[in-house]
Chain A
């Protein structure tokens, strides 16, 4: 029984690590990738419908919007995972 629980917990932890890894890959791409490393080639095009050079937009606006979205996606994924593995906190604390 105890082994069963700890195996479930280990599985929960692996899924958690996978989510975090994926989200951090996006985090890295929009900021370090598009906003810094690829800024010059991206500046050659504009964000569609605006006068923003794309690389500059990622560095000063876009990456921040993506950061916000990433945290909310993480919250949704993890709250779902907590329920799936029955490790969510009880309500009413």
Chain B
């Protein structure tokens, strides 16, 4: 079978599986719809969280990003895993004990304020939509590249599948499809990585291969890549070019942002007990770490391969995959000096770079560069779709529950019936899918910057008020509201200013203390903490029932049923 036939077969088979699961796990109550009946096993929830969390960007983009950034790429590796330690130690068990359905639920009840609830609803919806736009686009791009359909058509197909299981099954359908999607995506990621590792280092475990010896030259792989990089005028692979302060701030923003993302937090409402929530975060990180420790290895193997196969190669002799990917526009060669050879060089080289490589190509083209069988190519396509669809579904559920539960049931129409609320949840999910599809077909400028925005907002809004809500009884409604608003205002303004309004000014000289827009979420978070704590000192103590609520959250015994 050709690569395209394999891709079609594997994609259709995996979609059929997801839809089958959705039919089997239909939601019949709002509790099913919002938190899968709080009956998910910790291990299954760990897998679902991993799929929920790892998006098209993790699957397709991250290895490529690290490959070009070298050591600087560590911000993503540490940032997107370290947040789970915060989640496990500071958030998940307590929020499970609180036993609500959504993040605004907690904020609204803990801060005894409808205003706080509404601010949280707005943040949750905004964060989720900015993030989901990239996912739908990712679905379209995978379809476009592997099956030669129009990107927009790809987005519509993805919408159709997500519509089916998110609207029908709610959190219950999403959870079990995410378990299946995790299996698909991790298999699809590991197979080419293992092949590559054997090819480059002779070691079948990519994590060890990265610290091994390059078979071709007989010298340690990282040393060899450092040598190649320096020779071609790039920065040494194992040292960075970003300022240390910026690295610190970006890593913190990503960690804290991870712990504050509503679609990740609500996953821990779905397990039965506090104890399950704790261990479940552990399992989630195990499953995530499998991909996240493989990605830096793939990055190095792919970069070494790329340099070896294209640098100074006459254009007439390039391998077949080179021309295939040139057609997609992800790889571009311009013979600037007219010598007929490819100069792939960095900023420190006297020559001009003639090869332009898109980050995504590292994962997408790997099977071809490594000359792997056609079914592996199909597998990578199915894996990329699994990663994008699982994250999109989780985000859409946040939007749907924020509207039907927090906005309707808890604010505007408290007397709404169970059936009415379930219907509203389905309608909201359907509307969210349509809007996400619109964003996917009309992407707002730079998808990557928009995703950075989601992290910055999550870091500067939810994380501080949830932590303080649990660990400091004295934190008041006024403090939390002003804290969230000031955190978001600062982070939002900084990011909008530098990425949307004045991208030409976005460089180290103009940034505050050299902190890039990606790292500003950390400053927003610190401001939120400072404002919340200061205002809380000068405002009346929270009422007794709230202080008792905090006491009960801190003790596992006696899990209460959902607040609604």
Contact = CB atoms under 8 A, between A and B. Distances in A.
Nearest to A60: B296
B554 interface: yes
A45 interface: no
A68 B285 contact: yes
Interface string B50-79: 000000000000000010000101100110
Q: What bracket does the count of chain B residues touching chain A fall in?
A: 35 or more
A31 B79 CA distance: 9
Interface string B274-298: 1100110110011001001100100
B264 to A, nearest CB: 14
Given A24-B89, A31-B82, A71-B281, A93 B272 contact: yes
A36 B556 contact: no
Contact of B85 (A27, A47, A56, A57): A27
Contact of B274 (A47, A60, A65, A89): A89
B289 A64 contact: yes
B251 A68 contact: no
A58 to B, nearest CB: 9
B244 A36 contact: yes
Contacts of A56: 71, 74, 222, 238
B74 A79 contact: no
B82 A63 contact: yes
B557 A88 contact: yes
A67 B81 contact: yes
Contact of A52 (B222, B239, B275): B222
Interface string B184-219: 000000000000000000000001101111000000
A20 to B, nearest CB: 5
A24 B256 CA distance: 13
Contacts of A47: 211
B84 interface: yes
Given A52-B222, A59-B78, A75-B282, A9 B555 contact: yes
B157 interface: no
Interface in B503-556: 551, 554-556
A13 B82 contact: no
A51 interface: yes
Given A51-B212, A59-B77, A61-B296, A70 B71 contact: no
A42 to B, nearest CB: 11
Among the interface residues B66, B210, B213, B248, which one has the most CB atoms of the partner chain A within 10 A? Answer: B210
A79 B210 contact: no
B84 A67 contact: yes
B293 A64 contact: yes
Provide the main secondary structure of the chain A interface.
helix
A43 B248 CA distance: 18
Given A51-B223, A72-B282, A39 B289 contact: no
B555 A51 contact: no
Nearest to B88: A71
A60 B211 CA distance: 11
A74 B84 CA distance: 12
Interface in B238-276: 238-239, 244, 247-248, 251, 272-275
Kindly name the residue among B85, B88, B274 whose own CB sees the greatest number of chain A CB atoms within 10 A: B85
Interface in A30-57: 31-32, 35-37, 39-40, 43, 47, 50-53, 56-57
7 contacts: A31-B82, A61-B293, A68-B289, A71-B85, A74-B88, A87-B556, A93-B273
Interface of B: 66, 71, 73-74, 77-78, 81-82, 84-85, 88-90, 93, 207-208, 210-213, 220-223, 238-239, 244, 247-248, 251, 272-275, 278-279, 281-282, 285-286, 289, 292-293, 296, 471, 551, 554-559
Question: What are the 8 closest A-B residue pairs judged by CB atoms, nearest first?
Answer: A51-B220, A50-B211, A59-B74, A52-B211, A71-B282, A60-B296, A56-B238, A87-B557
